[in-house]
Amino acid sequence: MLHFELVTPARLVRSEDVYMVVVPGSEGEEGVLEGHAPYMTTMRNGALKIYRTENAAPEEIQVEGGFAELGRDGLTVLAEHVAEG
Amino acid sequence: MASLKELKGRINSVKSTQKITKAKQMVAAAKLRKAQAAAEAARPYAQRLAAVMASLASRVTVSESSPRLLAGTGSDQRHLLVVANSDKGLAGAFNANIVRAALAKAASLRAQGKTVKFYLIGRKGRPVIRRAYPNDIVKNFETMHVRQAGFTEAEQVAAELTAMYTDGEFDVAHLFYSKFRSALLQEPTEQQIIPVPAPTAAVEETTGGAVVEYEPDEETILADLLPRYLRIQLFGALLENAASEQGASMTAMDNATRNAGELINKLTIQYNRSRQAAITTELIEIIAGAEAL
């Protein structure tokens, strides 16, 4: 499982283990699974898609001013504004 | 000697003052808890961003072509002092301490022949700074209409500062606020915010030494993150300030309540003495009258 954290200046929105997260990177969408190579990217304003399990319907979170960092500890998305829908 | 009625009046008025200070102390204690929680909740984001910035900054060399927010304007002649105060008083020396730190800095910069301007956040610092530097206040940022200055306000301030910086109105910006150490101790702090000082926090090795892919390249990401870093610095300062204000207020009101208590005791003793004296005089008069018969 991929450890996923979504952080805004005001609070820690999510911290959980998920199957896959689709990140709207500034250079194109990228599906991040466990074991992905470390990378950093800025994000377009758009929806972050979170797949809890392989076949589950994705949960979408609108993110503005985002930045994604993928390291050993999992995926961390820093976002200035977040709208859960 | 004050009459009995006067003394009674004074005791009552001190008692009602004590009630007010006590209430304000309890309100501050409750608000402090909230402000501390908010400051704590903001920490993960700030830490992560600082770590990312530090690892990026170590890869990018600062040069002429670097973003101006990082590289500076090449001069340090014009300084902008951003002073964050509260809107309300009853917080002891909280605001005075911040303003004093800012004025000291302004004086030392002036002595070096630099120009100094002020950007004021919050209502309380204004009169003092206006008296000292009547023509150098660029802007008074209002925080009266919101209950608690938060990220929206930090964004607005950051946007204005960035715009002024891009227009070449100043070279260096310093931020003055009060760091929250404990309910008893708040530290007036000065921090340079523009040009953004590269975070020197120990680079957190989250990648395990593996090569990190940057998308787009490091410079672009850094340029993108700089304004965010500025915003989060301001936001952090506002939160620290809010917690400090409540802490200072709590301590000040605790002292005030205790002082009022002492004053009440003193006045009560004085009241009892005067009453006793009045009774004694009355008795002497009666006895003297009876003896005369």
Mutation for A interface: B34, B47, B48, most A CBs within 10 A: B48
Q: Do B216 and A42 touch (CB under 8 A)?
A: yes
Write the DSSP assignment of A25-78 as a string of letters: ETTEEEEEETTPPPEEEEB-SEEEEEESSTTSPPEEEEEEEEEEEEETTEEEEE
Q: Which domains, and CATH codes, for chain A?
A: 2-83 (2.60.15.10)
Question: Domain B42-250 in CATH: superfamily?
Answer: ATP synthase, F1 complex, gamma subunit (3.40.1380.10)
A35 Cβ under 8 Å from any chain B Cβ: no
Domain boundaries, chain B: 42-250
Query: Three-state SS for B1?
Result: coil
pTM: 0.84
- pLDDT tens string for chain B (293 positions)? 678 899 999 999 999 999 999 999 999 999 999 999 998 888 888 888 888 888 777 777 766 667 788 877 778 889 999 999 998 888 888 999 999 999 999 999 999 989 999 999 988 889 999 998 888 888 888 887 777 778 888 989 999 999 999 888 889 999 999 999 888 889 999 988 888 886 665 554 444 455 677 877 878 888 888 888 899 989 999 999 999 999 999 999 999 999 999 999 999 999 999 999 999 999 999 999 999 88
Mean pLDDT of A27-52: 88
Instruction: Tell me the CB-side half-sphere exposure of residue B72, using CA atoms within 13 A.
Output: 15
pLDDT of B106-144, one tens digit each? 999 999 989 999 999 988 889 999 998 888 888 888 887
Write the DSSP assignment of B182-248 as a string of letters: -SS-EEEEEEEEESPPPP-SPPP--STTPPPEEES-HHHHHHHHHHHHHHHHHHHHHHHHHHHHHHH
State whether the Cα torsion B109-B111-B114-B118 is positive or negative: positive
Q: Do A10 and B41 touch (CB under 8 A)?
A: yes
Residues of chain B positioned with their CB less than 8 A from the CB of A71: 206-208, 212
Place of tokens 């304007």: B73
Q: What is the ipTM of this complex?
A: 0.83
**Which residue does chain A place closest to B150, by CA atoms?**
A10
Q: Do B212 and A38 touch (CB under 8 A)?
A: yes
